[in-house]
């Protein structure tokens, strides 16, 4: 019997990497027709090719074969989380994140998105409720906060070196990384003297250094120029761990995410697979506006 889900998964991951059938075929040394047959379930790749596919798509082999994020393997489970400042911000937040999922957290200004991701990252504590983490919080969760956490008097390269030593990594090619973000020329500049966009790029590099199971990005592209935004989404596409992203970049979210969470009134007011939204001929912008309507008058 042919594996139905595998064909769909190859299509999905190939499109996510923006590869045509021919481009993928070239990288695997097979014909374009072979890819077409795998995708249409007329044939299946052998184990060798499956391993190569998982490397090209940067996903685990079992994720490739099983299709869809592995819903039986939660990486994080939040139960009835509440948090108040002067007034209640989060009232009853319950949801789980699963291995390999790409989730966007949407909501109006002040809805509590940053508060929620800070709770997940362990920067603040909830007033009540449970957070179950299936990863080592310090080593395997990487947060790019809304406000940069940089040491102003340090030079760019020193900042990178510090982060690498904190993450206990020693095989990172700093030159390649800084060049990839157009920051190599600025390597001897102190952080404080970088432009706002350059500081954001540096913050992104520092976040990506960790080999985390869960990456969280809080409005990562704010202040970045268009080229850097494109670069950001391409790099994000290469992450094989779970990603949770707060963004208002609606041009990208239709393409990038598996699932969308809407935070409204202190609860997760909607939790939907992007494929389901698309199956109803909606884009995420329309879906979001429909679900997040503000009562006027």
Q: Is 247 in the site for ligand ATP (CB under 6 A)?
A: no
Nearer to ligand ATP, 181 or 245 (CB): 245
Cβ(297)–Cβ(291) below 8 Å = no
Judged by CB under 6 A, the stretch of 113-121, 137-145, 167-175, 267-275 that binds ligand ATP is 113-121
Selected from 75, 78, 89, 160, the binder of ligand ATP by CB under 6 A is 89
Least Å distance between CB 145 and ligand ATP? 11
Selected from 29, 46, 85, 173, the binder of ligand ATP by CB under 6 A is 85
Nearer to ligand ATP, 21 or 115 (CB): 115
3-state DSSP call for residue 114? helix
Q: Is 107 in the site for ligand ATP (CB under 6 A)?
A: yes
CA 112-115-116 angle, to 5 degrees, is: 85
Q: Is 153 in the site for ligand ATP (CB under 6 A)?
A: no
Cβ(223)–Cβ(200) below 8 Å = yes
Q: Is 200 in the site for ligand ATP (CB under 6 A)?
A: no
3-state DSSP call for residue 283? coil
191: burial class by Cβ within 10 Å (0-12, 13-18, 19+)? buried
Q: What is the DSSP letter of 293?
A: P
Q: DSSP H helical segments within the chain, as ranges? A: 4-16, 21-28, 32-39, 47-57, 61-66, 113-120, 137-140, 156-166, 174-180, 196-209, 226-237, 250-256, 274-279, 284-291
3-state DSSP call for residue 89? strand
Binding mask 45-84 for ligand ATP (x = CB under 6 A): ----------------------------------------
Nearer to ligand ATP, 109 or 281 (CB): 109
Least Å distance between CB 85 and ligand ATP? 3
Q: For residues 93 and 168, what is the distance between their CA atoms, to the nearest angstrom?
A: 34
Question: Among residue numbers 115 through 144, which ones bind ligand ATP (CB under 6 A)?
Answer: 115
Nearer to ligand ATP, 71 or 248 (CB): 248
Q: Is 294 in the site for ligand ATP (CB under 6 A)?
A: no
Q: Is 293 in the site for ligand ATP (CB under 6 A)?
A: no
Residues that bind ligand ATP (CB under 6 A): 85, 89, 107, 109-115
């Amino acid at each position: 019997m042919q594996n139905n889900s595998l064909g769909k998964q190859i299509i999905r991951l190939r499109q996510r990497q923006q590869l045509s059938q021919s481009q993928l075929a070239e990288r695997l040394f097979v014909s374009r027709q072979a890819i077409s047959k795998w995708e249409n379930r007329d044939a299946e790749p052998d184990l060798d090719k499956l391993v190569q596919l998982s490397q090209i798509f940067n996903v685990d082999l079992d994720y490739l074969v099983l299709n869809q994020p592995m819903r039986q393997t939660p990486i994080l489970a939040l139960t009835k989380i509440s948090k108040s400042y002067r007034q209640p911000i989060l009232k009853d937040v319950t949801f789980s994140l699963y291995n390999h999922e790409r989730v966007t957290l949407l909501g109006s200004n002040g809805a509590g998105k940053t508060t929620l991701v800070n709770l997940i990252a362990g920067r603040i504590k909830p007033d009540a409720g449970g957070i179950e983490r299936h990863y080592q919080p310090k080593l395997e969760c990487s947060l790019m906060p809304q406000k940069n956490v940089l040491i102003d008097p340090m030079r760019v390269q020193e900042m990178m070196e510090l982060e690498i030593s904190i993450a206990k990594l020693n095989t990172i090619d700093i030159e390649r990384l800084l060049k990839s973000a157009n920051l190599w020329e600025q390597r001897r500049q102190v952080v404080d003297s970088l432009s706002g966009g350059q500081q954001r790029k540096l913050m992104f590099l520092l976040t990506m250094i960790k080999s985390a199971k869960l990456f969280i990005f809080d409005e990562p592209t704010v202040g970045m120029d268009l080229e850097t935004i494109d670069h950001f989404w391409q790099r994000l596409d290469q992450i094989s761990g779970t990603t949770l992203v707060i963004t208002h970049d609606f041009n990208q979210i239709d393409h990038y995410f598996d699932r969308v969470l809407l935070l409204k009134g202190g609860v997760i007011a909607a939790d939907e697979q992007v494929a389901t939204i698309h199956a109803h001929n909606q884009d995420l912008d329309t879906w979001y506006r429909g679900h997040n309507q503000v009562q006027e008058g």
